[in-house]
Amino acid sequence: MLTAVNRPGRVRYHRRMEIVPTDRDVLLVVDVQNDFLPGGALAVPDGDAVVPAVNRLAGSFQHVILSQDWHPPGHLSFASSHPGKAPFDMIDMPYGPQVLWPDHCVQGTLGATISPWLDIPRAELVVRKGYRHDVDSYSVFCEADRTTRTGLAGYLRERGLARVYLAGLATDFCVAWSAFDAIEAGFAVYVVEDACRAIDTGGSLAAAWKRMTDAGVIRVATRDFAA
């Protein structure tokens, strides 16, 4: 799309990005689950704003994959599993520092269910993560031990999907870690900023954007997609 910008004495044209997804592009919708939405156990501020944005966005993709945070009861990322600790405290796990969360997305509960307002029946794969009792997994590609793979990179490669667009919850945790790992796995990665919302605890949102953009993640918006 060409947009005219009038400045005193001249007219400049600059090209706005216009993204038209092909059969090599996939939309990865991260963790749009009841527990991350208003009223949920770990509600992301303004989290429900992603639902209409993601629904619209999904319409322009041939390939859509969903992820689902899926913890067993008593998961080690829950503050309730650590006597004396409170949600949002930090602890050291064998694999590194870990934020402690309220109990959320417990397997088989209504809180763990993908939001009924998400309207993407065409989604071709749901990737569950965080299902091992002792290891968290923000990333849809690789668990927090940084070695156990979910299989998603292999799926994308086998299906010839080369560019990953991310949307969903939360920008500074599951979206950011997934974006970072997708780059590491060799994919081109775009985060659709206004189709995501953040938890933003202890400066996590600014840190996540720096880490993502330093790694080569491209920041885009829903308006960058062809109507």
Q: What is the spatial distance between Cα 209 and Cα 172, in angstroms, rounded to a whole number?
A: 8
E strand intervals along the chain: 2-7, 10-15, 25-30, 64-69, 90-93, 96-99, 125-129, 163-169, 188-197, 218-220
107's tokens? 């397997």
Residue 103 binds ligand VGL, judged by CB under 6 A: no
Binding footprint of Zn ion, residue count (CB under 5 A)? 1
Per CB under 5 A, 69 contacts Zn ion: yes
Q: Which residue in 61, 70, 78, 101 binds ligand VGL (CB under 6 A)?
A: 101
Q: Which is nearer to ligand VGL, 36 or 187 (CB)?
A: 36
What are the tokens at 130? Answer: 């965080």
Rounded to whole angstroms, the Cα distance separating 203 from 89 reads 14
SS3 of 116-172: the string is CCCCCCCCCEEEEECCCCCCCCCCCCECCCCCCECCHHHHHHHCCCCEEEEEEECHH
The nearer residue to ligand VGL, 170 or 220, going by C-beta atoms, is 170
CB of 42 to Zn ion, least distance (A): 7
Q: Which of 28, 79, 167, 170 binds ligand VGL (CB under 6 A)?
A: 170
Q: Which two tokens stand for residue 166?
A: 């991310």
Is 129 a residue of the active site? yes
- Indicate if 105 belongs to the active site: no
170 binds, among ligand VGL, Zn ion, none (CB under 5 to 8 A by kind): ligand VGL
Interacting partner of 183 out of ligand VGL, Zn ion, none (Cβ under 5 to 8 A depending on kind): none
- Catalytic residue, chosen from 35, 69, 105, 129, is 129
Residue 193 interaction partner, one of ligand VGL, Zn ion, none, beta carbon < 5-8 Å per kind: none
The site partner of 173 among ligand VGL, Zn ion, none (C-beta below 5 to 8 Å per kind) is: ligand VGL
Q: At what angle do helices 176-184 and 204-215 cross, to 10 degrees?
A: 20
Q: How far is the CB of 35 from Zn ion (least distance, A)?
A: 8
Residues 40-79 close enough to bind ligand VGL by CB under 6 A:
69
Tell whether the torsion through CA atoms of 134, 139, 143 and 145 is positive or negative: negative
Judge whether 89 counts as a catalytic residue: no
Would you name the residues annotated as active-site residues?
31, 129, 174
